[in-house]
Structure 1
Amino acid sequence: MADHQQNHNALSLPHSVFSADWVRENEKIGARHLGVSLYQLMERAGEAAFLLCRKQYPDARRWLILCGHGNNGGDGYVIARYARQYGIEVTIIGCGDENTLPAEARQARENWINNYGTVLPHDVRWPENCDLIVDGLLGTGIQSAPKQPYSDLIKMANHYGAPIVALDIPSGLNANTGIACGEVIQAAQTLTFVALKPGLLTGQARDVIGELYYNALGLSRWLAEQKTPIQRLTIASLNQWIKPRRSSSHKGEHGKLLVIGGDIGTGGAIRMAGEAALRTGSGLVRVLTRHEHIGPILAARPELMVQALDRESLAQGIAWADMIAIGPGLGLSDWAKDAIKLVAESEKIMLWDADALNLLAIVPDKRQNRIITPHPGEAARLLQCNIEQIESDRLHSAKELASRYGGVVVLKGAGTVIADDSGQIAIADVGNAGMASGGMGDVLSGIIASLAGQRITPFDAACAGCVVHGAAGDLVAQRQGERGMMATDLLSEIPKLVNP
């Protein structure tokens, strides 16, 4: 099994992501390229899953395998055969009409029956003492809520009490969007085959996939020759964007960044954005805010240059800056609207966040020199729909935003999606639930704006910034746990990530 060896760690997951439809349409070509049949690929998938189950649960002696009416079920029959050969007690519950099984799955089922006997019907009483469940019910083709009897079987599996290993994707999870429209398997481990699918990385995926493993089934060399539609971003991606500095470089070469925001009551937002930019390596950061915030910000972070925001300071700041960020704590007053109007006249690269996006939703425009960083609520206002529609297909929502507003879009959330108008798309596979707290977006804005000011293209700056931000949150979580994490906790971690 050497040539399709199991990967056991998130860092060894591939960085290319393919839609489930692409995998279904192309795996035949891949198999042909490798000189194997689709049934041989199924055998490999079953063997890989069996080995993962053995490794994760060496003491499990009684396995319950749930097999659906597609190739996912076929993988389950192969695993059952391996488990029986190993002396494990196996119960198979089959679902759907055996006559409608795809050819490979039917062959796997017949191999099981000819060698070991029975497949129990879906409405059978479950054995009481199983110590592992294998989910081979529904594969990557599902587009809506699981129907009966699948939804009942998923519910029973989740309530049974034994750990569940899901084949390819937890049954009920949409492989392209990461959304579950009905019942969904709560897996302890998920082993996905051939290619990573986007639905494993965004949406509700993290709630249900458990630990994610991957096996290319020997097709990795063939996959490497295919055009990658979606990039998966991790800490390992940072080296391609962030290079060591020349010893003789000076502060003027590392970007002059102008950050604008912080209305009365929200001065902290603009302070965090400014400090995050300094920590990310900006040479000079100038903050334009309410007069009342100048003293507190300078006392907290004297390295920032701080002035009161008015027409004159803004015109000077725009002329001075390499990069502009506007929005953190900006508010929606006339003070804010005047600032947005002046900034919008500039041709310089800029980032709009928070209230800048709420103002953009009122007076929409399309431009290529802008990065926007909406959370789902802001995205819904920008696309004039509701949050459920944004979250139901996050990749589509990000593409739609890029097409309507131009430039680069960072759709924040679990599995942040980065997209641009030319069709580039990436998913940041970093971050954790501890980051769901106030101020995190302000820190992200500062990081991305800083990188864009350091002569990194807007799309790459957005990608790198999302990775630095999420990975900083992960370092904080490792140190102190997720609950109680504050946005300022990330600031001391940023330099570790921007120094390759």
Structure 2
Amino acid sequence: MKVVSTAQMRELDRRTIEEFETPGEVLMDRAGLGVCDAVQRLIDATGFLRPAIRFIAGRGNNGGDAFAAARHLKEAGHMVEVWLAAAANAVKGDALKHLSQMKRAGVELRELPLKEDWEDAQRFAPHCEVMVDGVLGTGSSGPARGPAVGAIQFINDRSSESLVVSIDLPSGLNADTGEAEGEVVRADVTVTLGLPKTGLIRSAALEYVGTVEVADIGIPDELVAHAETDEHELIHISDLRNRFPRRARNSHKGDYGRVLIIGGARGYAGAVAMAAQAAVNSGAGLVTVWTPNSIVPIVAGASLESMVKGCEETEQGSLDAVVWTGAEAARDFSAILIGPGLTRGDSSLRLVQAVLRDCRVPLVVDADAISVLAGRARELSKAKCPVVITPHPGEFGALFARGVEDVQKDRCGAARAAAEETRCTVVLKGVGTVVAQQGKPPAINLTGNPGMATGGSGDVLGGLLVSLLAQGIEPCDAACAAVYLHGRAGDLVAWRRSQMGLTAGDLTRELPFVLRDVALR
């Protein structure tokens, strides 16, 4: 999905109003409905029963979006109140129209026009399950001032007991640079309006924006198609759905791809088993695992649907390079994943090099298969098949002989340069995962949460990715879909349970459900 600056979004709004005769009041109502829908999805995911929802609104258009959303939620039967960081008589224009409609709908309004009012509110405010931040939007500039500062501090102080949803962007965040110029709301979810803003995808913003959703406010497609936009894109569900065609009724397991996963070692059976189960749970027709003889019972027991082949192993318990017999070894498979639990010995390096040399089907190089290539990135460019690499920043730095801090300073630039050098599709993991491929703008993923920083999470991503490749999805599209769905699974688990208690197994079990986001059946 295209990403726009504040000025570009303002121009799209203007043209929609003037050329397509859509009143600003209507755009604001659509924004409110989009926020209402996002809050409802969050409530459904968490399982809250009769949650209290508190909107913290400013006097401008962001506040107007909040008034519209509060009315829609009230009309849907929710307990809603609005706290205004201003006097009601300071609200003007379309925002005032929606404030009046909101009050007529029976939503309680509390005015807190002074910073000191928000300090007092800390002492008497009752608990609420969800807070919606509509204090400041793209029209503000510079650090938050006056009652807006108090409102932002209130939201952050109460976020330990309430989930926080920000409208368009977290209040106080610069919409173009992503910089925190003063006090900034730390959101769990940001519902950005129309199109994502450039600031949301900048590395400086990632600590504040949470998971980013996009609310459609009816900007005409022809305006978006011809708009001057940022050089990066946001991975969004609307761009992924057409990559997942409806399955034919007259089909069989062979139609949905044959996956081969190469990995595992004595003491590291879990990684390859989780990758296999993720591939099974994400639609692959057949999944085969090549793993050392000594751990076959463990892997087979952990993924009953997979066909597990025991292979020769070294004295250390890792796969012996002789298991790969040349190009004919890959003849029966649609896509291959190598790396989970492979370990980093000389035999692993020789095995990875042989697979890169001979493979003719899409190949995912992950985990230890990346580590053994440290300093040998150019070997990837010699592959005669589509290759996707999935390094975290440490693996990326070792592979390309760069410091981790240097990589993290410009993740998009680093991923793009790596894609050019290796001719691979590059998935640079971490908060704001970047997918880069030659000739395409880098795409940033903003699903997922800190609970996914747990052992095995990357193995699940690898299994999901190779499954999508085996089903015939193009490498860049498969990578974008995989990181989005992987993060989405993590978000749903975290909402329903907790970030602290999230495990890789939870992600695997959630995959069949998040696939409904892209495929109805």
Matches within 5 A, 1:270-419: 270-301=272-303, 303-306=306-309, 307-308=311-312, 309-316=319-326, 317-348=329-360, 349-365=362-378, 367=381, 369-382=386-399, 384-391=401-408, 394-419=411-436
What per-residue deviation string (whole Å, max 9, x for no partner) do you get for residues 421-462 of structure 1? Answer: 121444445444432211111111111112212222112222
* Aligned equivalents of 1:153, 1:328: Cα separation in 2: 49
Instruction: Give unmatched runs, 5+ long, in structure 1.
Output: 1-14, 67-73, 94-123
The answer to whether the 8 A contact 2:375-2:401 is kept is: no
CA drift at 1:263: 3.2
Matches within 5 A, 1:155-174: 157-159=152-154, 168-174=168-174
SS in 2 for 1:455: coil
* Aligned equivalents of 1:331, 1:126: Cα separation in 2: 59
What residue identity is the alignment partner of 1:360? L
Pick aligned residue for 1:265 from 261, 264, 267? 267
2:37 aligned partner: none
Tell me the TM-score normalized by structure 1.
0.70
The answer to whether the 8 A contact 1:275-1:304 is kept is: no
Aligned residues: 444
Matches within 5 A, 1:141-220: 154=149, 157-159=152-154, 168-175=168-175, 180=180, 183-186=183-186, 192-197=192-197, 199-200=199-200, 208-209=208-209, 219-220=219-220
What residue identity is the alignment partner of 2:295? H
Pick aligned residue for 1:435 from 431, 439, 452? 452
Distance change (3 Å), C-alpha of 1:28 and 1:493:
closer
Is residue 489 from structure 1 mapped to residue 506 from structure 2 by the alignment? Answer: yes
Moved more, 321-330 or 396-405: 396-405
Distance change (3 Å), C-alpha of 1:214 and 1:455:
closer
CA drift at 1:414: 4.0
What per-residue deviation string (whole Å, max 9, x for no partner) do you get for residues 12-39 of structure 1? Answer: xxx6543556436765555553468999
* Aligned equivalents of 2:491, 2:25: Cα separation in 1: 41
CA drift at 1:351: 0.6
* Aligned equivalents of 1:181, 1:332: Cα separation in 2: 45
* Aligned equivalents of 1:441, 1:301: Cα separation in 2: 17
Pick aligned residue for 1:63 from 45, 59, 84? 84
SS in 1 for 2:290: strand
* Aligned equivalents of 1:126, 1:248: Cα separation in 2: 65
Distance change (3 Å), C-alpha of 1:52 and 1:246:
closer
Distance change (3 Å), C-alpha of 1:482 and 1:126:
closer
What residue identity is the alignment partner of 2:352? I
* Aligned equivalents of 1:238, 1:358: Cα separation in 2: 33
What per-residue deviation string (whole Å, max 9, x for no partner) do you get for residues 100-137 of structure 1? Answer: xxxxxxxxxxxxxxxxxxxxxxxx86665568997665
SS in 1 for 2:235: strand
1:453 aligned partner: 470
* Aligned equivalents of 2:134, 2:321: Cα separation in 1: 62
1:18 aligned partner: 4
What residue identity is the alignment partner of 1:338? R
What residue identity is the alignment partner of 1:157? I
- Structural RMSD (CA): 4.6
1:420 aligned partner: 437
* Aligned equivalents of 1:222, 1:134: Cα separation in 2: 31
Moved more, 368-377 or 478-487: 478-487
What residue identity is the alignment partner of 2:260? L
What residue identity is the alignment partner of 1:327? G
1:118 aligned partner: none
* Aligned equivalents of 2:448, 2:165: Cα separation in 1: 24
Moved more, 421-430 or 444-453: 421-430
The answer to whether the 8 A contact 2:211-2:447 is kept is: no
What per-residue deviation string (whole Å, max 9, x for no partner) do you get for residues 391-413 of structure 1? Answer: 55544444343233322122333
Instruction: Give unmatched runs, 5+ long, in structure 2.
Output: 29-59, 126-130, 313-318
What residue identity is the alignment partner of 2:244? W
Distance change (3 Å), C-alpha of 1:338 and 1:294:
same
Moved more, 254-263 or 78-87: 78-87
Percent identity between matched residues is 31
